[in-house]
Amino acid sequence: MSPSAMKQNPLKRKRNDEHEQTKPRPPSWEALCVLGPYMDPETLAVASCVSTTWLECFSSDDLWKALLTSGSSQRSSPYEIVLNNNTDNISCKHLVSAVETDAKRRRKDQVAEPVKISLTDLSFIVHASTKTKKASVYKKGQDLEFGPNDKFQIQVDVSNAAITAGEDDVRMTWQVMYKGKFFTLADTTRSLDTKHGWFTDELEDKCNRKLVGDVKPSFNGEDVLEKIGFSIVDSDGWGSLLLDGFLRYLQMFLLE
């Protein structure tokens, strides 16, 4: 390579220098030592997974091991167990995975928020329609019967709309009314090309869970849509919300 080719363009060198000055730098070792003991496992996992700056910190052999172990005050902590069992082959990814698993476990072990609304105070409005057909059903919560450990599911009869299997652009809406407030649980439009039900798009949730609506249509012998059922499922594990869980979900929106 010629000497002239080896010389860096002054403008390019200036841009590189500016880039180095503006590039986010990982927190200093001193800062990490101060913050580490006050960061819970979930915070560590999120920081290392979503931030390239923090990921760079945890990828350093000298930083992540000391930081995560200093955050442990219990012998049973997930990252200390990983360190003890994988001394030779330990990596940042091992610890982040252990922290994420522990965060999920701790969320499950959290004391549930008390239920502040009653099913008898709620009313449900269900709409099913096409461009030319429509059915609206009103149900009072006091008419629904559930045990505390039962899955919440509402089923309504929409046969008077005469919507048939195979129709396109069928819109279904589930709404809840509580003391003058309205909240839309789900609003979905699709063709009735299946009789086995489907999941809606992800529902709004203030706890950042991946909740979806589980729609269950049923048809009579003439392929007329007779009933539609609706429940809420957490797609992280595919468990349905029980009655108390459903009421806690609603009160986050109805009591704000």
The pLDDT, as a whole number, for residue 195 is: 73
231, β-bridge pairs: 214
* DSSP assignment letter at 23: S
Residue 222: its pLDDT value, please? 86
Q: Hey, what amino acid is at 81? A: I
- pTM equals 0.57
Compute the C-alpha angle 35/37/43, nearest 5°: 70
pLDDT tens for 38-55 read: 555 456 556 666 666 666
Query: CA-CA distance, 215 to 170, in Å (whole number)?
Result: 13
CA atoms of 111 and 89, how far apart (whole Å): 37
Does 82 have pLDDT greater than 60?
A: no
Mean pLDDT (whole number) for 147-167: 88
pLDDT over 70, % of the chain: 55
Give the angle subtended at the CA of 83 by the CAs of 79 and 85, to the nearest 5°.
115
Note the helical H segments in the chain. Answer: 3-6, 10-22, 29-35, 41-50, 52-58, 64-70, 78-85, 92-109, 243-254
